[in-house]
A = this chain, B = another copy of it.
Amino acid sequence: MAYDAALKELSALLGDALTLSKSDLDLHGRSESHFPPTPPDAVAYPTTTGQVSELVRICARHGCPVTAWGTGTSLEGQSQAVRGGVVVDFSRMNRVLEVNQADMDVRIQPGITREELNRELRATGLFFPVDPGANASLGGMAATRASGTTAVRYGTMRDNVLGLEVVLADGEVIRTGTRARKSSAGYDLTGLFVGAEGTLGLITEITLRLQGQPEAISAAVCGFERIGDAVAAVIDTIQMGIPMARIEFIDTASVRAVNAYAGMEFPEKPHLLVEFHGSDSAVAEQAEAFGAIIEDHGGSGYAWAQKPEDRSALWTMRHNAFYAILALRPGCRSVVTDVCVPISRLAEAVEATTADLEAHGVTGPILGHVGDGNFHAILMFDPNDPEEEARATAAASRMVERALKLGGTSTGEHGIGIGKRGYMEQEHGAAWSVMGRLKKAMDPGNIMNPGKLVPEPD
């Protein structure tokens, strides 16, 4: 077995909290996406930062790879130990350490999930707004710079992490940031670790900004004849400064899937789903102003729901979309990919993608976070048909090239992992080798999640 000496020392350190059982290795080798499984050599379940630090020191001495694991919901294979070694599962470091109500911040361990955190916050009148859909761990969300449906209003993880505790590649523990709302005191190390996908260190503590629970929430769904009309309505809304809390797009194929899956009867055309947060009167004013804008752009079937149960019904379409789409073809797998473009180019990017998928015979409903210019395609294939899988991945590849040509990025929120490393040079040019230089300075032994994000070391 590889890394025998390291595993022996790790076992002495962690006891039962280091496992080599096949079922556990298999569980931590899988991915939610289409990548082949890569079981690690061991899985560690640390409970303290001190243990994580010792663990990394041992791995550093033996050149043993270390890959962090939250809930395993990343979509580009970020938590797969592609070079073996130890997967560090943070599920036992999942406590809320400190809530500061007046400052609207919270200090947590990385293993707590988004839903758990919001359950614990419920009585405080505060909530954590970033919502990538999956019930991911906050450590994973920070590491992949997650965002989701509410980023248009509340920002991404980049905007909501105030500070971190990080175990570096030599086992040293550092703290970045403070509880102050802003700082000009040196390099933004917090921002460097957020989105680094565990290649620079392991996040062992996070301080997050929180938001006040809104007094009122109002949601609506609305159909459009063309995606271009829907995007134009959103652009007008943003320019008028109407603060949307969520603004989601789902295409005709997705609507069809949801109707079939959930017995709904939405018209088969592109839809926007929108949500406003604020005071009763602010929400009412925003709903009215938005109504006028969508009328200008030929929107139809516009209706508001302020009661929680009505809102849930409206969001059913969005939340069910992923499962509804997979249910279109039982047994299929999918390349779940995302790109992000300047919003003025969004309609063009979506229309070109739709045409491309049709031309290449790929089934791939499209949905996304239209306020950010970010959209997803769920490109389905039969796992027993390599030719179809190749067509799906080729279509994903053309989506990226199109996004880059339009001034966008290869991924708005899913990250790089193993799925998108091949586009890094194209997107960043010489700046990609700068990332490699930073990686080498921080992890000269290349043990932190190797094989991801940066160029291979010389």
Contact = CB atoms under 8 A, between A and B. Distances in A.
Interface of A: 100, 102-105, 125, 144-147, 151, 155-156, 158-159, 168, 172-176, 178-189, 191-192, 194-196, 200, 211-212, 214-215, 235, 238-241, 243, 277-279, 281-282, 285, 289, 340-344, 371-374, 403, 407-416, 420, 423-424, 427-432, 434-435, 437-438, 440-442, 453-454
A100 to B, nearest CB: 7
B182 A192 contact: no
Given A103-B344, A176-B428, A184-B414, 11 more contacts: A174-B428, A174-B431, A180-B403, A182-B372, A183-B409, A185-B409, A185-B410, A186-B428, A186-B432, A188-B194, A189-B431
A227 to B, nearest CB: 15
A289 B279 contact: yes
Contact of A435 (B181, B187, B420): B187
A235 B100 CA distance: 12
Contact of A342 (B105, B243, B415): B105
Contacts of A146: 184
Contacts of A158: 182, 188, 191
A212 B239 contact: yes
Given A125-B239, A145-B184, A176 B214 contact: no
A162 to B, nearest CB: 10
Contact of A178 (B212, B214, B285, B409): B409
A318 to B, nearest CB: 19
A268 to B, nearest CB: 28
A180 B373 contact: yes
Nearest to A194: B188
